[in-house]
Amino acid sequence: SSPPTEPAAATAVLEVTQVPTPTPGVLMTGERTGSLGANFANDPVGNSLAVAVLMGMIFIVIRAIQYFRQPTAPENNLLWKWAVPVICLIGLGVASYLAYVETTQVQAVCGPVGDCNTVQQSEYARLFGVLPIGILGLIGYVLILFAWVVSQVKNPLPAAYGALAQLGLAAFGVLFSIYLTFLEPFVIGATCAWCLTSAILMTALLWLSLPPARKAWAQFKGS
C-alpha cells in the first residue's frame, strides 16, 4: 500500500501524542499550582468571606490569651453556659453532613457562596489522606460536649478538669480550623460554607469555654 500522505501522518501523530483534556471533576482536586493570589481569584466572593472568618478567628485567639492574663474577668451567666451544648449539637449536624459527603463522594449542597464540592474533593478533605475531616469534626464536638457534661458535676475536682479539657479541645479545634480556613482561599482556591460554619461554631465554643476554664485554673493555682 502507498505511504500515508503528510496531513494523514500528522493527524496520526497528533492522536498518539495528544494528552486527554481533564474532566471538570478531575480539576476539582485542590491541587492548584498557581500563586496565592491566583488561587484566591478563582472565587473572590467566597474566598473573601473565608478571609474575614480567618481574621475573626485569629482575633478571638488573641483575645482569649489576653483574657487569661487579666487579673479579674467576668464569668458567663447561666444562659451562655447552656449555649455550649446547643452549639455542639449544631456542630454535630454540620460535621455529620460533611462526613457523609466525604465518605460517600456525593455532591454537597453548597448554597450561593463558595464552592464546597471543590473543597470536599481536594486532598485536604482527609487528614493524612485517610481520616475525613468531617469525621474528625464529629469526634471533636462529641469530646467537647462530654467535657462540658463533666464540668457540670458537683464534685469540684472533676468539674475543673472538665472545664480545662473543654477549653483545650476548643482551642485545638479553632487552631485546626484556622489552618483549614487558610487553605481554602489561598491553596485550594475555593471556599466551603459548611466548613466556615463549623469554624465559627468552634470559635464560639472557645470563647464560651474561657470563663469556666479560667475559674478552674485559678482553683488549681490556689490549691
pLDDT tens profile 115-172: 888 888 888 888 888 898 999 999 999 999 999 999 999 998 999 999 999 999 999 9
Retrieve residue 42's grid coordinates.
Answer: 478563582
pLDDT of 65 reads 93
pLDDT (average), residues 202-219: 92
**Which of 34, 199, 176, 25 lies closest to 115 in space, CA to CA?**
25
Instruction: Work out the number of other CB atoms within 10 angstroms of the CB of residue 212.
Output: 23
pLDDT of 10 reads 44
pLDDT of 19 reads 39
pLDDT of 92 reads 97
pLDDT of 115 reads 83
pLDDT of 22 reads 32
For residue 9, is pLDDT > 90? Answer: no
- Confidence category of residue 220, pLDDT binned at 50, 70, 90: confident
Average pLDDT, the chain: 82
pTM attached to this predicted model: 0.80
**Which of 49, 13, 59, 8 lies closest to 184 in space, CA to CA?**
49
Q: For the CA atoms of the chain, what is the radius of gyration?
A: 24
For residue 205, is pLDDT > 90? Answer: yes
Gap between the Cα atoms of 207 and 65, Å rounded: 11
Question: Which amino acid, 86?
Answer: V
End-to-end CA distance of the chain: 99
pLDDT of 34 reads 60
DSSP per-residue codes, 147-185: HHHHHTSSSHHHHHHHHHHHHHHHHHHHHHHHHHHHHII
C-beta of residue 190 within 8 angstroms of C-beta of residue 115: yes
pLDDT tens digit sequence for 15-67: 444 433 332 333 333 445 566 667 777 778 888 999 999 999 999 999 999 98
Contacts 24+ apart (CB under 8 A), 104-111: 108/192, 108/194, 110/192, 110/193, 111/193
pLDDT of 208 reads 94
Retrieve residue 223's grid coordinates.
Answer: 490549691
Gap between the Cα atoms of 218 and 13, Å rounded: 77
pLDDT tens digit sequence for 63-97: 999 988 877 666 655 667 789 999 999 999 999 99
Gap between the Cα atoms of 20 and 136, Å rounded: 36
C-beta of residue 208 within 8 angstroms of C-beta of residue 80: yes
